[in-house]
Chains A and B, each alone.
Chain A
Amino acid sequence: MTRRLPRIGAHRRRSRRGDVIGIAVVALLMLALPLVASSSVINVGVYALIYALAALGLSLLMGLAGQVSLGQAGFFAIGAYTQAVLVTRYEWSGLPASVLAVAVTMTAALLVGLPLLRLRGHYLALATLGFGIIVTVLATESDFLGATSGIFGITKPELNNRTYNSPTEYYLLLVPVVLLGLWLARNIVESRIGRALGAVNDSEVAAESLGVDTFRLRVQVFVLSAAYASVAGTAFAHWLGVINPNAANFPLSVKFLLMAVLGGVGSVYGAVVGAFAVEGLDDGLRRLIPELLPGAVGEVQLIGFGILLTTIMIFLPGGLHQLWTGARRRMAGDTSAPVPEDEGEARLEPVADDVPLLAREGRPAPGTPLLEVRGLTKRFGGVTAVDDFDLTVAAGEIVALIGPNGAGKTTAFNMISGAVPPTAGEVTMAGTRVEGRKPHVFARAGATRTFQNLQIFASATVLGNVMVGRHLRSRSGMLGAALVLPARREERAVEESARELLELLGLGEDADRLAVDLPFGRQRLVEIARALALDPDLLLLDEPMAGLSGTERRELARLLRRLRAGGMAIVLVEHDVEAVLALADRVAVLEDGVRIALGTPDEVRHDPAVIAAYLGVEPEDEAATAAAEAGTP
């Protein structure tokens, strides 16, 4: 049993209803509080609601982008200060001021995020920590912002000639804001964007190969997360009436983080539950500790935060949300048992070999050159893995790349698809230079790939995996996703086409299973279905036959022929030489990174260099024996 952070969007189909129930329960509890609680408790509730927004933003960042910010309070403070300045200095009214405050904060987040999100986790965490400190320093140093004493006299908000003065009134004003925030967050998690980011967390290279621009999406989520913090900041400024550099304080960032983690990074409503729990704990500890230890002053409640953060991560990494889903699953009985290996093979309807499949308007005519590789070279230190490799692939042909183990086939694939930058050489896909750029550029040019060591999106269902493949064939963005309306129809269309594709590959019955629960061979087919969902002009398959049964191999070969008839170009790396020679139009042979032969299967079969390569290097290699047999008429 491995411990891992459950992610937002994991177990998608089951969580969808869970989130709605969760949000409804949270809404009821929030609304019930003022009816039963004393004024001082409601006051705690007001802070809980305010902080819940900031925590929610952080939860999105952690759950969707897999990144952690230790400077959420910095953005909270920027929002609060902007609001305070606009309201007190320029006498703006609250609502337009808050719009500008959020815009200012998002701009700041964009400027911070652009350089930092290119880097991995710990740099962002520490840099955002530094960012929070900088905001504190700047606020303290700036006379315009009132230096250490801050900005005073921010009035309570007025709407429709009503002033929200008492804790209860302010509380009830905030509840709809938080619910709206929850609703938008949930929509984004369930959207095309959320699905793509979930895929990135499972396998970045696979998601990018399907056209997901990881960096761009991460920046978007980072900015969104800051926007949530700034809304919280504006609400905070109005409620407290004064804002000072403490608003950017590190302990506040820690508090936001604790709220998100306690509630469960795998859920959006968890952040709200976490906010109430942490605020309650905060208030309780502030009262309790000085009673137990007379003389204790300052932020002593932090001890509870520290202990809680650590114990949750060790014993309950999914937070309260994990308890909740665990209980629900026990009640419902676990239905996610893995498919037994012997449950049979993928069930395909027999169809003639040459019926075109997935032909599409605007596909390049057969024979049009699609992929041009020139002088591709990769050196790792002193080792040249691929040496001056040339290859041209035209629409409507199947090209096989074969060679002994370690010949550089996968490295060549990695360079062509953009996963690894080449040391030298050019790759042009449909007129676009793609070498050294990210895999999503390759995907955008109409080409994608599968992987030798499977890169299944482990936390998604089979259907979810394939739907990621439709990323480039759908377009709803963050805003559309948040507002749901325009995106819903597109979502339905995406799901429908994904299901059709699964039927085609005989995976229809597995659609709603978790992809990792399938046997190995069928996971390969899921990867192929996922790649086909992109509707590519060129498909790179890295050992697609490995792990498939005899029947499945024949079915796959038939599928590839039909795709070729539909005008698709296919390049495959394969060890099953016999299958390759029967299937491919042309075969390229690599040995020690050098292309030693290129031609029709017949030419290659009789090429002395090829025979020597297979027999001379690794005589016990299964593939070598196969090649030798195939080579002796």
Chain B
Amino acid sequence: MTSAVYFCDNKGKAILSRRYKDDIPLNAIDKFQTLLSDMEDETSVIPPCIAHNGIQYLFIQHNDLYVVALASSLGVNIAEVFAFLHKVMDILAEYLKTVEEESIRDNFVIVYELLDEMMDFGIPQVTDAKMLKKYITQKSFKLERASKKKRNAARPPSELTNSVSWRAEGIKYKKNEAFLDIVESVNMLMTQKGKVLRSEILGSVKVKSRLSGMPDLKLGINDRGIFTKYLEGNNIGVNIDSSHPDLKDNQSSITSSKSKAKSSIELEDLKFHQCVRLSKFENEKIITFIPPDGDFELMNYRLNTAIKPLIWCDMKVQVHDKSRIEISCTARAQIKKKSTATNVEIIIPVPDDADTPTFKYSHGKIKWVPEQSAIIWKIHTFPGGKEYAMTAQMGLPSINNAERPKFRRPVQVKFQIPYFTTSGIQVRYLKINEPKLQYKSFPWVRYITQNGDDYTIRLS
């Protein structure tokens, strides 16, 4: 169990602390700064846990902060500690918007209060932002209504310890609506020749619930695990293919898999928000839940499938006369004609010392960002099936021998494709049932596909 949580600045000096157990010396945290810098001197591999003098320093980084949990025993559940620290940051973000040194310093009272409520004696307690907000109210809000609040003093909501600990009773909306957002992030690693080395889809179903009372929701999606009973013998979906799809041969892979997938797909690694009845899902494969109020992520999933690149960039790099580099890039939106990719950004690394760029391009905007040693090509809208090209020439002052400049970073592509999911996941229905109020309600669904944090093309 955690003995103390500290917020430290970017050097590792403590700003604010909350001690939960009395088993570590008060000055243990002072060592953290030196430990960190000693370690940095020695190696570039700095794991998120450091042991010193029998005290474990477990830390995460967030903006310019180190959030450090101290523990005195090797038996402490480290997964819990890290999960908790990340949760703390999420919740602070709900209260403070951006969590950084400055905002922590300005809001230490609220931070203390939250730390006090979220953990007791090193055991995580209540970490549901919506419920916390019921009884730990923002300072500014408090001040305005100090006189009112007096009579109506904050109490822990009784739901807090109920089995539905994430939703308060008596919520009311004039219009009852639920919005579903299905966001798929595609991670893909490709070689310059177009071979896909690794691809995965990380999906997330986000819900914004504006529903009165205690509604019970039932979500139907076309997941195969869920629908096998009804659609027997339909085991197609997007199969994991160990052989790499060749670009040319698989021109239609997306559309075909999409049309197949219309009937059913198989989602892997489904993960649910705590409101989903896990045992019900395990036994009957039905997703049922009483939603928290407002925004939350209902579930996420991962699909480990071989897919064709959605945005493909054909890169050519040539070094001329030892002093000039020419980069050409042909980008193609390999999606259905009726879909459109938006906010496409292609980030092409260039040698650190390259300068004096000249660009030729047909669409979008290009700029050279020397701080990142990259050129960024932005295309606002990129309709499916289109192909755009650009070339860039840059000077290379310090090339001395015929050695080719090395590209140690890959080309990164960012994009969004609205109204489209790569996996073919579809919401079949969202049934909303509030036993007492029996109101009419409106479910809305949106789909979007975007790049994940690793959609890259290696330059060799």
Q: Are A and B subunits of one complex?
A: no
